């Protein structure tokens, strides 16, 4: 066996394993944390102006590909070096690998918006690369030793040279079929590691590339202004109290619930939505078609049916979109239809009552914007549904691509056969945000505060109960609309000791929350949010 050539191959395979593992972890940690992407971007940033022009004049729009190819050649050369060094002067190869990876980590963690966590894919990749390099080099050594032993048995004179993996092998270029187990074990391990790295690496890189393509496509979108802007929130929707969830939930802290293991990466230029099924006219709209329509803006509080009493699977945003009602009016639903089954590009489905989507008094949007931005990718980019008053699982389909007008008797949404109700109107609820459960507060006036919601019905009042006593009215913050939650506060005269605080809301239909406890399944939790606090 030729020692150096095999060692070079080991180096390249180990580098491949490192990159593949890093790419795979980056699929979960975020595409920007891929070392390949970060190093490429860093090289672009650091390149002198002339170099970029040269690349573009040489390779045109293929300049990025050319850059990656160049980078690949450099990485391969370093990998060859690492493989040979590891065989000849252990742990020289490991040192080269770690040193090169350290540069990559520097590149990843200095990218715009990077956090220390972005180093994780590269570090895990490095560990895998080091293990691969050490294991494969050990197997190569065993294989070379076996070859040398066989050769020396055949010709004692060759023994001296064969003990040197490099020069010794030059005398015999081919390996005899009798080289046996060590050689086979080495070849098998190298083949498996190499093939595994190729498959995993290419698949992960493809996913990461798609993800970065979508985030840059999203960044390039300028949403049109709303033809009908949201009425300005009245002053004082936000009490500005410490510890109370803000009235408008920032996109970055908006709860996220979906079945998507991988956030769907939808190409806006080929995306469309079709209104089909029991309709007179099937309609298909592209993203540009949608943006050309007169869009409306509405504040709507979205809630998840899985939210426990006191839970935080709820958020309020200002959505920009087009009323689904208008599209259904153009499509003309047929008699007998009572459900719209919306389908996501990832296969998720939600069944919404047709009546809710055609109701002129209910907000039901094909939304493209969230708090003044295109939808975040994890919140359904480019288009999702938002329907006031219905839990997300029966209405808020993200990455939506199809609305089928049908009947509850003929179709069901994703969660219905899994033990959740076919209908999911949001239940009137309230939550104490401050003080926190189990907190210690000083005696005196304590602001007990939180949020209450009764989407599409409206909150009428909130009351607080201390230690099971009489219910006392809380003060409501300014109420934006019946579709949004509202903040409330109760000034409590707290006396030393342990106390229990409970909250209940009454909605504009006259319903007051009862103490009856229900689990989230099948159609939403109920009960009073109750907490214990200590006053000192």
Using DSSP bridges, classify how beta strands 283-286 and 429-434 pair: parallel, antiparallel or unpaired: unpaired
Distance CA 266, CA 363 (A): 25
**Nearest residue to ligand MTE, scored by beta-carbon proximity:** 392
Query: Is the four-CA dihedral 372, 378, 384, 385 of positive or negative sign?
Result: negative
Distance CA 107, CA 39 (A): 6
Question: Which strand (E) or helix (H) includes residue 450?
Answer: strand 444-453
The single residue among 247, 393, 414, 453 that binds Mo ion, judged by CB under 5 A, is 393
The single residue among 11, 31, 392, 435 that binds ligand MTE, judged by CB under 6 A, is 392
Q: What order do you get walking across the sheet with 497-507 strand by strand?
A: 440-441, 529-535, 497-507, 459-466, 471-473
**Interface segment toward Mo ion; rule CB under 5 A; list 169-177, 249-257, 323-331, 366-374:** 249-257
Whose Cβ is closer to ligand MTE: residue 338's or residue 378's? 378
**Interface segment toward Mo ion; rule CB under 5 A; list 158-166, 167-175, 304-312, 510-518:** 304-312
Query: Could you give the string, one character per residue 352-391, with x where binding to ligand MTE holds by CB under 6 A and - elsewhere?
Result: ---------------------------x------------
Indicate which of ligand MTE, Mo ion, none lies near residue 344 (CB less than 5 to 8 Å, by partner kind): ligand MTE
Whose Cβ is closer to ligand MTE: residue 379's or residue 427's? 379
Residues 6+ apart with CB under 8 A from 521: 419, 420
Q: What angle do helix axes 63-88 and 92-109 make, rounded to 10 degrees?
A: 150
When asked if residue 342 is in the footprint of ligand MTE (CB under 6 A), the reply is no
**Interface segment toward ligand MTE; rule CB under 6 A; list 198-206, 249-257, 438-446, 501-509:** 249-257
Instruction: Give the residue from 489, 494, 477, 344 showing the smallest Cα distance to 414.
Output: 344
Indicate which of ligand MTE, Mo ion, none lies near residue 348 (CB less than 5 to 8 Å, by partner kind): ligand MTE
Quote the least distance from Cβ 27 to Mo ion, whole Å.
24
* Cis-peptide, bond into residue 25, ω within 30° of zero: no
Indicate which of Mo ion, ligand MTE, none lies near residue 271 (CB less than 5 to 8 Å, by partner kind): none
Whose Cβ is closer to Mo ion: residue 351's or residue 392's? 392
The single residue among 255, 408, 471, 511 that binds ligand MTE, judged by CB under 6 A, is 255
Whose Cβ is closer to Mo ion: residue 393's or residue 485's? 393
Q: Which of residues 269-328 bind ligand MTE (CB under 6 A)?
A: 302, 304
Helices (H), 89-176: 92-109, 119-154, 159-162, 167-170
Question: Which strand (E) or helix (H) includes residue 344?
Answer: strand 339-344
Quote the least distance from Cβ 401 to Mo ion, whole Å.
19
Say if CB 244 and CB 252 are below 8 A apart: no
Interface residues with Mo ion (CB under 5 A) are 257, 304, 392-393
Interface residues with ligand MTE (CB under 6 A) are 254-260, 302, 304, 344, 346, 348, 379, 392-393, 396-399
């Amino acid at each position: 066996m030729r020692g150096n050539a095999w060692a070079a191959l080991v180096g390249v395979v180990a580098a491949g394993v490192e990159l593949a593992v890093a790419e795979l972890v980056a699929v979960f940690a975020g595409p920007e944390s891929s070392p390949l992407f970060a190093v490429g971007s860093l090289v672009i940033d650091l390149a002198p102006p002339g170099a970029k022009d040269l690349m573009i004049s040489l390779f045109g729009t293929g300049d990025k590909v050319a850059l990656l190819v160049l980078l690949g050649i450099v990485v391969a050369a370093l990998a060859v070096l690492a493989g040979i060094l590891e065989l000849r002067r252990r742990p020289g190869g490991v040192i080269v690998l770690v040193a090169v990876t350290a540069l990559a980590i520097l590149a990843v963690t200095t990218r715009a918006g990077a956090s220390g966590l972005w180093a994780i894919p590269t570090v895990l990749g490095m560990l895998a690369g080091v293990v691969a390099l050490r294991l494969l080099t050990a197997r190569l050594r065993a294989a070379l030793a076996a070859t040398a032993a066989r050769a020396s048995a055949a010709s004692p004179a060759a023994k001296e040279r064969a003990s040197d993996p490099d020069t010794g092998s030059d005398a015999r270029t081919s390996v005899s079929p009798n080289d046996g187990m060590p050689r086979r074990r080495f070849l098998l391990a190298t083949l498996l590691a190499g093939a595994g790295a190729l498959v995993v690496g290419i698949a992960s890189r493809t996913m990461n590339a798609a993800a970065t393509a979508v985030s840059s496509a999203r960044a390039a979108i300028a949403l049109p202004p709303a033809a009908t802007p949201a009425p300005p929130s009245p002053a004082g929707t936000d009490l500005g109290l410490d510890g109370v969830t803000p009235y408008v939930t920032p996109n970055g802290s908006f709860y996220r619930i979906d079945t998507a293991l991988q956030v769907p990466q939808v190409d806006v230029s080929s995306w469309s939505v079709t209104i089909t099924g029991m309709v007179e006219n099937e309609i298909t709209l592209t993203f540009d078609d949608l943006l050309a329509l007169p869009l409306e803006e509405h504040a709507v509080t979205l809630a998840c049916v899985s939210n426990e009493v006191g839970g935080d699977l709820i958020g309020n945003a200002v959505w920009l979109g087009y009323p689904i009602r208008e599209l259904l009016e153009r499509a003309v639903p047929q008699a007998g239809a009572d459900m719209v089954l919306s389908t996501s590009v990832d296969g998720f489905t939600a069944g919404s009552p047709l009546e809710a989507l055609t109701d002129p008094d209910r907000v039901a949007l094909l939304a493209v914007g969230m708090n003044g931005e295109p939808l975040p990718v994890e919140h359904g980019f480019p288009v999702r549904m938002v329907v006031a008053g219905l839990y997300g699982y029966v209405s808020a389909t993200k990455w939506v691509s199809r609305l089928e007008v049908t009947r509850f008797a003929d179709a069901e949404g994703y969660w219905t056969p899994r033990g959740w109700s076919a209908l999911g109107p949001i239940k009137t609820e309230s939550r104490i945000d401050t003080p926190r459960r189990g907190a210690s507060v000083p005696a005196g006036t304590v602001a007990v505060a939180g949020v209450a919601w009764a989407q599409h019905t409206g909150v009428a009042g909130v009351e607080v109960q201390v230690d099971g006593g009489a219910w006392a009215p809380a003060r409501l913050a300014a109420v934006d609309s019946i579709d949004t939650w509202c903040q409330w506060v109760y000034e409590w005269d707290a006396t030393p000791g342990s106390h229990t605080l409970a909250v209940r809301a009454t909605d504009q239909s006259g319903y007051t929350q009862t103490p009856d406890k229900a689990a989230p399944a099948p159609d939403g939790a109920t009960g009073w949010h109750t907490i214990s606090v200590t006053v000192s």
